[in-house]
Structure 1
């Protein structure tokens, strides 16, 4: 006889994982109502399902934007799926909004995944780390291990997929996407993004009004 699971705890599990109602119910029954175990099992199942679907071509989707409070930071992100049907789903559009919000919050992120980081960036970071004074008296073996650990940490700071999701820090953006792949039954890909910061790249004028007037007088 299966354990009776309340609707409230099923809804709570669905809210935390994005899994379907029946999957949540089965997971809770299997874990005897222990929600933490149910969450872990659903995540494992979702990741396994997502891996099988990750090779599918995704050419549909949405272009979503997020403007941060104060209108000084904006993000546009393209999120792809396999069909227009999934592209219209609330869950898919919410995912796109959350990713755009994440990108606005994480301004050190410039690449979608570690694989997207150019080799010249990796070499540059290694050169910076190798020149740090705290490594001068270390043996070559210890020095190499420290540099490797620091480089991995630094590159993850640049990778969107390796960021902790700002709304649920227990999971990464990669896990968040895979949960939605499992939930919606299609491959989902973050294709590209652009971040806009007010005034970025502009050379601010240093001349004041008095200097400007003086120039005009002497030039005439």
Structure 2
């Protein structure tokens, strides 16, 4: 199939990947736009995996203040070089993450950072619910496991569905940015402030 410059432009607009990467992806998928998008996302994952061990000692602190000034978020993003930290794309990603945190109020960045007390409290509630439903112990146990998995996916920032595009998780978004930037990027920490809420 003949890959036109318009097809390459359309794919670039969808993914923000480089022109040559877009052309190569379209060639490999015989011009299938959806498959090309998936291929570019997979490559982003591969780049992210390769770069995951690198130190992220540069970065930015970005803020988001919701209209009315009663809700604010501060987030620290790390990257490998000062050059990337100063790019518009990196800062835009940081702003998007801060805005997402304002909207979803995650408990932690990843599963291993969820406080044990929070996990124990949720588990106790789910166990009580399972017992009250009168299910056999083995089924109740599976119900509790499923509910804990769902709870963690809802409260861990990296696993949450991105508010601007629910087809992607924050981890997917992060992987795409790592793929585009070509260096390791990490969400280091965040703080969410809301007037009248402790």
Q: How many residues align?
A: 198
Query: Which residue in 1 is equivalent to 2:4?
Result: 5
The DSSP-based 3-state class of the residue aligned with 2:192 is strand
> Are the aligned partners of 1:18 and 1:179 in contact in 2 as well (CA < 8 Å)?
no
What is the CA deviation profile of residues 38-92 of structure 1, one whole-angstrom value per residue up to 9, with x for unaligned ones? Answer: 1111111110111010010001000001111222211110000000000011111
More strand by share: 2
- 1:64 paired with 2:33, answer no
1:14 and 1:187 map into 2 onto residues whose CA distance is 22
- Equivalences for residues 59-208 of structure 1 within 5 A: 59-107=57-105, 109-132=106-129, 135-201=132-198
> Are the aligned partners of 1:5 and 1:33 in contact in 2 as well (CA < 8 Å)?
no
CA-CA distance at 1:192 after TM superposition: 0.4
> Are the aligned partners of 1:43 and 1:179 in contact in 2 as well (CA < 8 Å)?
yes
2:116 and 2:144 map into 1 onto residues whose CA distance is 16
2:142 and 2:194 map into 1 onto residues whose CA distance is 36
- The structure having more radius of gyration, on CA atoms, is 1
Q: Which runs of 5+ in 1 are unaligned?
A: 202-220
Residue from 47, 52, 66 that aligns with 2:45: 47
1:155 and 1:67 map into 2 onto residues whose CA distance is 26
2:180 and 2:130 map into 1 onto residues whose CA distance is 49
Query: Which residue in 1 is equivalent to 2:18?
Result: 20
2:13 and 2:154 map into 1 onto residues whose CA distance is 28
1:88 and 1:181 map into 2 onto residues whose CA distance is 15
1:71 and 1:12 map into 2 onto residues whose CA distance is 38
1:33 and 1:135 map into 2 onto residues whose CA distance is 55
> Are the aligned partners of 2:3 and 2:23 in contact in 1 as well (CA < 8 Å)?
no
CA-CA distance at 1:14 after TM superposition: 2.4
Q: TM-score, normalization: structure 2?
A: 0.94
2:112 and 2:104 map into 1 onto residues whose CA distance is 18
1:143 and 1:185 map into 2 onto residues whose CA distance is 46
Q: TM-score, normalization: structure 1?
A: 0.85
The DSSP-based 3-state class of the residue aligned with 1:171 is strand
> Are the aligned partners of 1:74 and 1:196 in contact in 2 as well (CA < 8 Å)?
yes
What is the CA deviation profile of residues 115-134 of structure 1, one whole-angstrom value per residue up to 9, with x for unaligned ones? Answer: 21122322221111111167
